[in-house]
Amino acid sequence: MIKLKKQSHHRLTLQILIGLGAGAALGLLMNFFGWNQGGLGQTLLTDGVFYIGGQVFLRALQMLVVPIVLISLVCGTAGLGDIKQLGRIGGKTVLLYLMTTAVAVTTGLIVAGIVDPGAGFELTTAATFTATEAPPLVDTLVNIVPKNPMAALAEGEMLQIIFFAILFGLAMTLTGKPGERILAVFTDLNEVVMKLVGMVIRVSPIGVFCLISKVFAEQGFDAILPLAKYFFTILFVLLFHLFITYSAILKFLGKLSPVMFFRKFYEVMVFGFSTASSNATIPVTLEVVEHRLGVKKIISSFTVPLGATINMDGTAIMQGVATVFVAQAYGVDLTMVQYMTVILTATLASIGTAGVPGVGLIMLSMVFQQVGLPIEGIGIIMAVDRLLDMVRTAVNVSGDAAISCVVAKSEGQLDEAIFNEDPLIETV
């Protein structure tokens, strides 16, 4: 496991924040002065240094996802040794994830209904958008069982990997001595992989700088202006869900301090924001959830990978606001039944489209089809979706960690001394 000294840990966090701020500032300057519009600036920096640095860092994180999920989940399941307890943990986790997703999309619909982000926005010509067909929920549930575990590992099919790892861990528990010997090997592998995570995390300030510089150099604030009302409506709901909804869950369900949670978890939010990928953030989420928030591995190894796969509160918020925005822009009046359909479809789609590329827009196209809105409307909101996707990911990973803490507390698997330890005070 990673045990960084606190001074080193805080120094790294500060470096990440500096990389984020410097990247955003440089990107905005390049966009403002047009240095990104062809020429040496675009060739050398945006499409050169920033692209290469960002992609190498992102791929290094993604490289760790499959081994971390497989090894940590096998260790956690085998270490649990109780099938009934595993079923109870799984039931709580899935129920809480679905509940927060339903709350997220409902909040988005309510706020959008008050703000009216699409009022006066006439969609006469919309940018084209081709919706990729999402698999039916029944097929997704069947496909959770891998026909070939090695193929699932090679292709990064997260739900299939989780299913296989849980079964493998249970088989190790039921096998006795041979299972114990294999568990010892997996435990050693876990130590090695987490050391590798630490090596990648140490270069994260550079990776974050490159990723953020490229995004803001290409997007700037010009893309926001025509859709400012829509953009800031979603941003408000995302921040409300992040700091109010999750705080309420931590406080009232987990009896835990939301302030302490965010003080220790904000650096993962920065990671999620910069990478815009819940899966790529799994290594960092696991490290902080286990070693700074005090969640035992038998809980975190299950809740965090599952949450990165099916918990999409940020995307659900976007769906709610986008539905109201496009309906108002096209002059379509939605009924209460249709609003309820949006809530149900978005909640179930968080599982039904798991593992599908471009999941956010696919889920949104599913919602639009259910309530009869034109799919072409998605083409308009794509202009600002890249920036919002970064915030959505920060919300999603925070939800994964908050639910992990609540589930761990309910199972007696949360070290509250670690959770409540002040991150600014050195301990001997």
Read off the tokens for 256. 């835990």
d(CA 323, CA 373): 8
Report how far residue 23's alpha carbon sits from residue 17's, in angstroms, rounded to the nearest whole number.
Answer: 10
Q: pLDDT tens digits, residue range 201-236? A: 888 889 889 888 888 888 777 667 778 899 999 999
DSSP state at residue 136: P
Mean residue pLDDT of the chain comes to 83
Is the predicted pLDDT of residue 413 greater than 50, yes or no? yes
Q: Domain residues of the chain, as ranges?
A: 6-420
Residue 39 pLDDT exceeds 90 = no
The whole-angstrom separation of Cα 336 and Cα 334 is 7
- pLDDT, tens digit, 9 for 90 and up, residues 316-339: 899 899 999 988 888 888 888 888
By mean pLDDT, which of 87-101, 113-127, 290-304, 310-324 is the weakest?
113-127
Give CA separation, 353 vs 207, 210, 311, in Å: 29, 30, 11
Per-residue exposure over 379-392, b if at least 16 CB sit within 10 Å of its own CB, e if not? bbbebbbebbbbbb
Mean pLDDT is lowest, of 12-21, 38-47, 131-140, 219-228, for 131-140
Alpha helices in 241-335 (DSSP H): 246-248, 258-275, 278-291, 297-310, 313-329
**Among 9-18, 70-79, 348-357, 401-410, which is the least confidently predicted range?**
348-357
122 pLDDT tier (thresholds 50, 70, 90): low
- Which pLDDT band holds residue 427 (cuts at 50, 70, 90)? very low
Buried b / exposed e over 145-164, threshold 16 CB at 10 Å, is ebeebeebbeeebbbbbbbb
Strand partners, 299: none
pTM as predicted: 0.80
CA distance 130 to 135: 16
| pLDDT greater than 70 at residue 94 | yes
For residue 148 the two structure tokens come to 């070939």
Amino acid at 184: A
Contacts of 212 (CB under 8 A, 6+ apart): 19, 20, 23, 24, 27, 274
Torsion, CA 95, CA 100, CA 102, CA 105, rounded to 10: -160
Cα 119 to Cα 22: distance, rounded to the nearest angstrom: 36
The model's confidence at residue 428, banded by pLDDT at 50, 70 and 90, is: very low
Encoded amino acid at 42, one letter: Q
Model pLDDT, residue 5: 45
6-420 carries CATH number 1.10.10.10: no
Residues whose CB is less than 8 angstroms from the CB of residue 203 and which lie 6 or more positions away in sequence, other chains included: 57
